[in-house]
């Protein structure tokens, strides 16, 4: 039989104490109360709590003092700060100090229930349902990757916004997914959005939804990304690409924890954790007036930097084995091995495009190699003219698409000429049967 959860509520205002006590008890949570810091510490010494709420100002100290005390003495107890309405500075300070989340006065009861439910999932061990270990997903045994995996476990327990910085292709979305999957929102949606890929004229509708008839073409009600992520995590990739007018609307949505659809008369609450990322220097964009300082302050509560591949070259052999095995599985072939010379060349290469570039290089080498051995020549490593300049995926993709179409057309012509005999078609193309089989699978040619 599962024992009831126990919460500690610390506030010197009788009305707030009563409201929180009634709301939590209706959720079948046992509630203990305290009116000051000293009482709270005495309660914590006698009981093990699954959740704690504390007011920002207490008669004998600050709520922040209690948060720091709980972090040191009871690190497994999630604690949420009760802040004055609109005091985002206090809320952010609380999150930076280790608070699980915050709730503003006047207390919205639905937000309070959402926060309590999410926090209690940590107590019930629901996050352990994720069987994959971080090490199996975020590959690498280098010191840099061990540190990141440890931080991900800690960040997953919090609801603080996390800003993930790092170069293009370094794996920022993978990190964001792991933070989501290791946390109490794992069973709810993870919704990624590339902010630079959404047309400006549709941006408000995409993020917040719209009502039927709110503009030309709005023939039905439509839910936005915030509604899609309700209860889960919204990942704002390339957040630096948001235009200024959307930055204002996004800031309000994050601060108020509510949104208004285009054409709607009222706001509705949303329960969403915000993770964001960009390869650009966001602090520099703030200085240049291209990104709002208040929004940067709000999304950058905790920064997690993802190292570039050249900073963790010790991981290249492990990454190479994993990527080749994945490519081989997709094509139904045995994975090739790298010659010693090829591996040395990979380790010496600076990888301006990071892990994404390594994956592209190995995919190409997979199709070119003979006798299941990838040589240095098969890698076709480019010469890097501008050191440390990331390869932009936006400039690569149209070229990849064009080349893919050209290759598809050539293969189809060869198959027709060979009356769909694959061995004969491979000879016409001047490639091995193995290479043709891989290309057919990759290009989706049946």
For 327-350, give the DSSP string. Answer: HHHHHTSPPPEE-HHHHHHHHHS-
Q: Among 96-110, 133-147, 246-260, 362-376, name the one with the lowest average pLDDT.
A: 133-147
Answer yes or no: is pLDDT of 304 > 90: yes
Give the alpha-carbon dihedral of 92, 93, 99, 103, to 10 degrees. Answer: -50
Give the alpha-carbon dihedral of 404, 409, 413, 415, to 10 degrees. Answer: 40
Which pLDDT score, from 0 to 100, does residue 133 have?
52
Indicate the average pLDDT of the chain.
87
Residues 6+ apart with CB under 8 A from 428: 414, 417, 418
Q: What is the pLDDT of residues 153-169, one digit of tens each?
A: 889 989 999 999 999 99
Nearest to 186 by CA among 232, 148, 123: 232
> Distance (Å, rounded) from C-alpha 23 to C-alpha 137?
39
Nearest to 108 by CA among 269, 230, 259: 269
Which pLDDT score, from 0 to 100, does residue 400 have?
56
Q: What is the pLDDT of residues 66-94, one digit of tens each?
A: 999 999 999 989 999 998 877 888 889 99
Q: What is the pLDDT of residues 17-38, one digit of tens each?
A: 999 999 999 999 999 999 999 9
Cα angle, residue 95 at apex, residues 42 and 271 outer, rounded to 5°: 105
Q: Among 95-109, 118-132, 338-352, 393-407, name the one with the lowest average pLDDT.
A: 393-407
CA 121 to chain centre: 20
Q: Among 52-61, 81-90, 124-133, 316-325, name the one with the lowest average pLDDT.
A: 124-133
Q: What is the pLDDT of residues 409-425, one digit of tens each?
A: 888 888 888 888 888 88
> Distance (Å, rounded) from C-alpha 57 to C-alpha 154?
27
Which pLDDT score, from 0 to 100, does residue 386 have?
44
Residues 6+ apart with CB under 8 A from 62: 56
Which bin fits 61, alpha (ψ -120 to 50), beta or left (φ > 0)?
left
Q: Provide the token pair at 321.
A: 């084995």
How far CA 255 is from CA of 55, 85, 122, 251, in Å, comes to 18, 10, 24, 6
Which pLDDT score, from 0 to 100, does residue 5 have?
93
Which pLDDT score, from 0 to 100, does residue 403 have?
61
Q: What is the pLDDT of residues 232-254, one digit of tens each?
A: 999 999 999 999 999 999 999 99
pTM for the model: 0.79
Do the beta carbons of residue 185 and residue 232 sit within 8 Å?
Answer: yes
Which pLDDT score, from 0 to 100, does residue 134 have?
56
Which pLDDT score, from 0 to 100, does residue 31 have?
96
Do the beta carbons of residue 83 and residue 64 sit within 8 Å?
Answer: no
Q: What is the pLDDT of residues 282-300, one digit of tens each?
A: 999 999 999 999 999 999 9
């Amino acid at each position: 039989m599962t024992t009831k959860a126990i919460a500690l509520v610390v506030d010197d205002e009788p009305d707030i104490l009563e409201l929180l006590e009634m709301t939590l008890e209706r959720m079948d949570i046992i509630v203990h109360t305290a009116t000051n810091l000293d009482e709270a510490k005495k309660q914590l010494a006698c009981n093990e709590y699954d959740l704690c709420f504390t007011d920002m100002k207490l008669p004998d100290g600050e709520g922040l003092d209690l948060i720091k005390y709980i972090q040191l003495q009871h690190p497994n107890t999630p604690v949420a700060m009760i802040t004055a309405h609109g005091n985002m500075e206090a809320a952010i300070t609380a999150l930076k100090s280790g608070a699980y989340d915050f709730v503003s006065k006047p207390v919205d009861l639905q937000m309070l229930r959402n926060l309590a439910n999410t926090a209690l999932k940590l107590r019930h061990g629901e996050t352990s349902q994720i069987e994959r270990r971080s090490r199996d997903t975020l590959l690498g045994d280098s010191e840099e990757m061990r540190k990141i995996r440890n931080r991900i476990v800690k960040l997953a327990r919090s609801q603080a916004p996390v800003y993930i910085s790092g170069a293009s292709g370094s794996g920022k979305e993978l990190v964001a997914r792991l933070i989501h999957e290791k946390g109490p929102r794992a069973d709810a949606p993870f919704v990624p959005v590339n902010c630079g890929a959404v047309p400006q004229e549709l941006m408000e509708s995409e993020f917040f939804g719209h009502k039927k008839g709110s503009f030309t073409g709005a023939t039905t009600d439509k839910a936005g990304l915030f509604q899609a992520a309700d209860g889960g995590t919204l990942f704002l990739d390339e957040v630096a690409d948001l235009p200024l007018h959307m930055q204002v609307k996004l800031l309000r949505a994050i601060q108020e924890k509510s949104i208004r659809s285009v054409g709607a008369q009222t706001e509705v609450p949303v329960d969403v954790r915000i993770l964001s990322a960009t390869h650009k220097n966001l602090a520099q964009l703030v200085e240049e007036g291209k990104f709002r300082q208040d929004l940067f302050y709000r999304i950058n509560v905790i920064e997690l930097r993802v190292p570039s591949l050249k900073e963790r070259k010790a991981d290249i052999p492990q990454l190479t084995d994993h990527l080749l095995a994945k490519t081989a599985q997709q094509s139904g072939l045995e994975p090739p091995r790298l010659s010693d010379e090829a591996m040395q060349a990979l380790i010496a290469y600076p990888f301006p495009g990071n892990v994404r570039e390594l994956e592209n290089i190995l995919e190409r080498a997979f199709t070119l190699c003979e006798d299941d051995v990838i040589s240095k020549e098969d890698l076709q490593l480019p010469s890097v003219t501008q050191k440390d300049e990331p390869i932009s995926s936006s400039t690569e993709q149209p070229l990849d698409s064009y080349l893919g179409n050209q290759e598809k057309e050539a293969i189809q012509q060869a198959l027709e000429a060979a009356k769909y005999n694959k061995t004969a078609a491979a000879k016409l193309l001047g490639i091995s049967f193995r290479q043709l089989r891989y290309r057919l699978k990759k290009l989706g040619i049946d």
